[in-house]
Each structure stands twice: as C-alpha cells, then as structure tokens.
Structure 1
Amino acid sequence: MALEEAPTWHRGLLDFPNPVNDYAARSTAGLVIVLAAVSIVVNQPWLYAVLALGFTLRVAGGPRYSPFGRLAVHVIVPQVWKKTKTVPGPPKRFAQTIGLAFSGTALVLSLLGFGLAAQIVVGALIGAAFLEFAFGLCLGCIGFGLLQRAGTIPESVCEACYNFGR
C-alpha cells in the first residue's frame, strides 16, 4: 500500500524556510531588540507576551506568520540591505526556539510578579539579538552546531551544518 500525500492545505503549514537569507534574520533581530527594549522599560506582562508570541510565530513557520519576519523579508531586506546571503534554516529555527524560551520565561516571571527578573532575562535576549543584528553572530546557531557535533541533534537535521567548519 502506497503512502498517501499530505493534503495540500496541510503541506508546508509549519515548515521553516531552508535556506534563510541571513540579512532577513539580522533585520528580524534588530526589530526584536526594539520590542525587547520597550518591554524592559514598560515591564508589563502583556508586552512580554507579545515578544513571546513573535518568537512562537517564527518558530512555527519562519517569516510566514510573523509580522517582524514579513517586514524583514518584504521591506527591510529589499529596501535597506539590498543583499542576499543564504544560510541553513535549521540553526535559525533553533535560535528562534531559544528566543521563545527566554521570552516565555520573562512572561512567566512577570506574571508571577518578578518584574526585575523578567527584565534581566530580556536583557540577555537583547544581548544575543544584538550580536546577530550587528555582527551576524548567531549564538543559537553556534549552540545548534555544538549539539549536532555532540550527537544530540542528528546530522540528518542539517547536513550542511554538520559539515560546516570541518
């Protein structure tokens, strides 16, 4: 018996792009910095929730569902950067997942009344986003590579990543 294909409405619903334009990722990081800084200043749970929702949407489908991702891909990169540099998608998704963990932690801390702790967590997130935005240094991508070389993430998830730098 042959396997049936997924219905067209389902195909690609939660796919993350691979490869990714590095300049779009950097632009998104810049937008995250702005929202995260406002979140620290305002220090309200609803704003941490907006930050976490953005990461959730980017983890779910890259720029497809994320307003920041769409703005980066369709406006900032073509109008400002005017460059393309493709990089593997799986490490970028992993990095977005780490961002979700940080922003989700900040949201929970804020809801529990630990506003200063939430601000510190988001401050660390800003640090990582700044490295991505300013220098193209993706800490989540570095972590992805280390986990892949340690065997935690299988080589098949991203063969280009596994062989990078060898």
Structure 2
Amino acid sequence: MTQFTSNHPVATEFIQAPRQGVLKRVFAFPNPVNDHAARFTAGIVVVLALVSLLGQLPWLVGLIAGGFVLRLAFGPRISPAALLSVKVLAPLVGDPKLVPGPPKRFAQGIGAALSIAAFVLLVTGGSLPGWTLMVLLVVAASLEAFIGLCLGCAIFAFLMRRGVIPAGICEECANIGLRKS
C-alpha cells in the first residue's frame, strides 16, 4: 500500500486557516475527505439501518441519529463508524480518493435530519412515517456505499448552482455535478 508523503494532505487532516478560534477547531470538518472512508461509513449506516428496520428497533435509530450528529459536528474524530472507516477500512483499499469536504458535511446534515426525525416519530407513535424515513435513509446510504452516488453532495451542487449556497463555501465544488470521476 502506497502512503502519501508529507506534502500531500491526508483525508483526515483538517485544512483550516491558522488563526481559528477554539470553537471552529472543535467543530472542524476535514477538507478534503477520503471518499473511500465516506463510502465505508455509508455502508455501516446501511447495515445498522437495515437491522433497525428488520428488528423494529427504535433505539438503534437513535444511535444512528447520534452517529450522524457526531459526524456532522466533529467530522470523523468521535463517531465510532467514521473512525472504523477512516482508520481501519479505507486504508485497506489503498490510496485515498480525495473529494471536497463541504458537500460530505452537508450530506451528514441530511442524514442527521432524517434519522432524528425518524427517531422522534418512532418514539412518539408515528411508526409508519418513522420507518419510511429509515427506508429513505437506507436508499440514500446504499447509493453512496455501493455506487458512490452521494445524494447530499448532488443536492449541495444543485443549491450552489442556484446560488443558495455561496460558491465561497466550496470553490472546488461549484462544478461538482459536471466533473468526471
């Protein structure tokens, strides 16, 4: 396995401006992100979500939601699924495939919103809508894990093209939908 040299960014490094406040450092998200790690994390979400669906386990939906919140807030530094993906699984594939971080963080936000809403619905008696949201989460995470299609990233690119998300948030992603892999 080839290692990156010190002059190449590693997908878990936090490329940040040198004079950031403590809160910005605490809530930093990596940029770039190793796409292999993102896909492995999505695969873990698929497995957990399917277990929650098949076993009708609302508490597991709560854990899934917690994982999304951790990844959204802190990147891969605290989330057990992300740590497993970044430190163990992705290195097995080889060199990182670096992709912009902001769209991946946006996708984590969508996953957090879906799973939190599903959890709230499930614990307040809304079984059908709660489990329906989990099915949607399985579909989205499966697309990411198995074919590399990040729906959150596609939505991010669409919103950038429409001017809803300023281009300065991720200049590299302004044309993400037009780029070839």
- What TM-score do you get using the length of structure 2 for normalisation? 0.83
Give unmatched runs, 5+ long, in structure 1: none
Residue in 1 that maps onto 2:13: none
Residue in 1 that maps onto 2:64: 51
Residue in 2 that maps onto 1:31: 44
**Separation (CA, whole Å) in 1 of partners of 2:107 and 2:76:** 14
What are the residue-to-residue correspondences of 1:124-135 with 2, within 5 Å? 124-135=136-147
Residues 112-141 of structure 1 deviation map (CA, whole Å, 9 limit, x = unaligned): 112232111101110011110111100000
1:13 touches 1:61 (CA, 8 Å); kept in 2?
Answer: yes
By how many angstroms is 1:163 displaced? 3.5
**Aligned partner (choices 157, 169, 181) of residue 145 of structure 1:** 157
2:52 touches 2:61 (CA, 8 Å); kept in 1?
Answer: yes
Answer with 39-48 or 23-32: which moved more: 39-48
2:106 touches 2:152 (CA, 8 Å); kept in 1?
Answer: yes
What are the residue-to-residue correspondences of 1:6-155 with 2, within 5 Å? 10=23, 12-79=25-92, 81-155=93-167
Residues 49-106 of structure 1 deviation map (CA, whole Å, 9 limit, x = unaligned): 1010000000012111110000000000112x22311000000000000001110111
**Separation (CA, whole Å) in 2 of partners of 1:65 and 1:121:** 25
3-state SS in 2 of match to 1:83: coil
Report the AA paired with residue 63 of structure 2: V
3-state SS in 2 of match to 1:74: helix
Report the AA paired with residue 78 of structure 1: P
1:95 touches 1:139 (CA, 8 Å); kept in 2?
Answer: yes
Higher relative contact order (CA closer than 8 Å, sequence separation 6+): 1
Report the AA paired with residue 156 of structure 1: G
Superposition CA RMSD, Å: 1.5
Percent identical pairs in the alignment equals: 49
1:94 touches 1:144 (CA, 8 Å); kept in 2?
Answer: yes
By how many angstroms is 1:10 displaced? 4.4
2:157 touches 2:175 (CA, 8 Å); kept in 1?
Answer: no
**Separation (CA, whole Å) in 2 of partners of 1:141 and 1:11:** 22
The count of residues paired between Structure 1 and Structure 2 equals: 160
Report the AA paired with residue 77 of structure 1: A
Give unmatched runs, 5+ long, in structure 2: 1-18
**Separation (CA, whole Å) in 2 of partners of 1:116 and 1:40:** 11
